[in-house]
Structure 1
Amino acid sequence: MSAVSKVIGTHSGHFHCDEALAVWMLKQTTEFKNASLVRTRDPAKLNECSVVVDVGGVYDPAQHRYDHHQRGFVETFDDKHKTKLSSAGLVYKHFGREVISNLVGDSKQLEIIYQKTYDDFIESLDAHDNGISAYAGATPLFKESPTSLASRVGQKNPAWNEPVPDDQIDARFVEASDLAGSELRGFIERLVSTWLPARDLVVEAIESRLNVHASGQVIALEKSCPWKEHLLDLEKERGLEKVLYVLYPESAPDGNWRIQCVPVRPEGFENRKSLPEQWRGYRDQELSQISGIDGCIFVHAGGFIGGNKSRHGVYEMARLAVEQQ
């Protein structure tokens, strides 16, 4: 069967984000990029399709059948994940690397992008479609946002009291598929253009950390960038001793530097080791006198961040903070 005669099959009627995105991803592959789309629940018509997603009751990658509704289906992305896959996760599991490469080109960081995209983009769609709550209890703590991707795709469906012919529903499905795909494309492109370069800076800082302080508990970034998630992930991946402080230049070209405590969690303000209590809430010359370090600008009252007019100054702040019991 030639590429132009390939057919992607999915179910007709009401649609969800998972199969809309699954179809879009398939059309980013070399094998299915020119495939036509059939939306039907007729088994005979589905049997004629080159690949079928979200319908048919079969998961068999050798036959390009990717449904997840059948009894006994328990497939997850890998042994580190517990979320049951939807059709989006199934297609991503088998075609995700190719989709990424076709969107952004070959990358030595392909595996990192592949894993990150599943964790931060695809898995929530799998959970949503399978009715898996993100919360510990049976009742969600709040309603899903009407601006989430799953909600926006769902809103492409006709309203319950809106009579729409089948061919128009099919056209809306294509719109929904393009919407979901554009979100995925943007997410992957941002990983390559901004997320990976920040990771590279953190890797460089970790590898040269012993030049900053003999303990290895302080790193210095050559540029200000988002570092918390990368640092905590890299520590875990490499089995490193935990870093306490991160030094980096401010964005403004005035030569000032910052010292920031590493939090226990990327999103929190609970620090592994806060800056010394006697520095907190003081500024400028008064802070320099208290700390014995020239050029101090401030230490936040919460003890999680401070500033100095020079790189050497924040080095000294970090040194004293590490060594203080």
Structure 2
Amino acid sequence: MFIGISFSCFYQAIDAIDNGINQFDTDKPPRYVNNTNLSSRVGRLNLDWMDPNQSPEKENEAFQQAMALAGSEFLDSVRFHAKSWLPARSIVMECIAGRYDTDPSGEIMVLKRFTPWKLHIFELEEEMKVDPPIKYVLYEDNRGKRWRVQAVAISPDRFESRKPLPAQWRGLTDDELSKEAGIPGCIFVHISGFTGGNQTYEGALAMARTALKI
């Protein structure tokens, strides 16, 4: 069912573009235009009006290229959902269900293993009736074997966080940050407050717990 929903979004965008349906319910023009979507790339395969050869054979050749492009994109989407999207969804669902084992607030989630959680957390929160919403996600940075604490965005398409890490921590690093936060092992907090790091899981959890109270 979930793959079916996601594939409907794959087709919905293409169909909406072909039928001239606006992406947003507003009269304001978009801040920027994206000309790299599938419909645009297929459209660029049409014969150029300056091309002297406008024969049916040339047109059919362009059509074959368009079919190959669209088919390849569809198969890539199938592979992604089967091998990545669904496994990630299962992991995130399990971690959301166990969030109270991490903290009694229910507002901190720990990933048992790193996975692209941002694709799923908003949808799963709604399905699982999560209240209060999750504010922070903890996961291990496999590159440095250190722990990250990341603030959850207010929505999938926004950069603003539901509860950014405290303003007094932002832009600080290492000992200066550890002293300000009163938590050992701190590494950094981004200037926007959307993410930070600690040497240990315990330290990252302490950062998230403290941030909830500020």
TM-score range, shorter chain: 0.7 to 0.9
SS for the counterpart of 1:133 is: coil
CA distance in 2, matches of 1:236, 1:259: 22
Q: Distance in 1 between matches of 2:177 and 2:32?
A: 44
Residues 144, 208 of structure 1: alpha-carbon distance in 2 compared, 3 angstrom cutoff:
closer
1:24 paired residue number: none
Change over 3 Å in CA distance of 1:155–1:273 after alignment to 2 = closer
Residue 150 (structure 1) shift: 1.6
Distance in 2, matches of 1:277 and 1:148, equals 38
Instruction: Find the structure with the greater CA-based Rg.
Output: 1
1:215 is matched with 105
Deviation at 1:204, TM superposition (A): 1.7
Q: CA RMSD in A?
A: 2.2
* 2:181 is aligned with 1:291: yes
Which residue pairs with 2:38 in the alignment?
Answer: 149
Change (3 A) 1:133 1:295: same
Q: 1:312 aligned to 199, 202, 205, which one? A: 202
Question: Deviation of residue 140 (structure 1)?
Answer: 5.9
CA contact (8 A) 1:247 1:257 kept: yes
Question: Any residues of structure 2 matched to 1:78-227 within 5 Å, and which?
Answer: 111-119=1-9, 121-135=10-24, 136-137=26-27, 142=32, 145=35, 147-160=36-49, 162-227=52-117
Going from structure 1 to structure 2, the CA distance change for 1:157 and 1:291 (only over 3 Å counts) comes to closer
Letter in 2 for 1:245: Y
> 2:17 and 2:159 mapped to 1: Cα distance?
30
User: 245, 249, 256: which one pairs with 2:140?
Assistant: 249
The AA in structure 1 aligned to 2:19 is: N
Which digits, 9 at most, give the CA deviation of each residue in 1:58-89, with x for residues without a partner?
xxxxxxxxxxxxxxxxxxxxxxxxxxxxxxxx
- How far apart, in 1, do the equivalents of 2:186 and 2:112 lie? 20
- Secondary structure of the residue aligned to 2:120 is helix
Q: Which amino acid aligns with 1:152?
A: R
Aligned residues of 1:216 and 1:243 also touching (Cα < 8 A)? yes
Residue 305 of structure 1: how far off its partner (Å): 1.1
Does the Cα contact within 8 Å between 1:296 and 1:309 map onto a contact in 2? yes
Q: How far is the alpha carbon of 1:228 from its aligned partner? A: 1.9
Query: Separation in 2 of the partners of 1:319 and 1:262?
Result: 14
Task: Confirm or deny that 1:258 pairs with 2:148.
Answer: yes
> Which secondary structure does the structure 2 equivalent of 1:214 belong to?
coil
Partner of 1:236: 126
Work out which of the residue numbers 158, 164, 189 in structure 2 matches 1:268: 158
SS in 1 for 2:191: coil
Partner in structure 2 of residue 83 of structure 1: none
Is the 8 Å Cα contact of residues 134 and 140 (structure 1) preserved in structure 2? Answer: no
Q: Secondary structure at the match of 2:100?
A: helix
Name the SS for the 2:209 alignment partner. helix
Distance change >3 Å, CA 243–CA 166, structure 1 → 2 = same
The match for 1:102 is none
Q: Give the letter for the 1:154 counterpart.
A: G
Where structure 1 has 5 or more consecutive residues not aligned to the other structure, the ranges are 1-110
**Relative to 1, partners in 2 of residues 1:298 and 1:172: Cα closer, same or farther, differing over 3 Å?**
closer
Deviation at 1:307, TM superposition (A): 0.7
Q: CA deviation at 1:230?
A: 0.9
Inter-CA distance 171–249: structure 2 relative to 1 (3 Å threshold): same
User: Aligned letter for 2:127?
Assistant: E
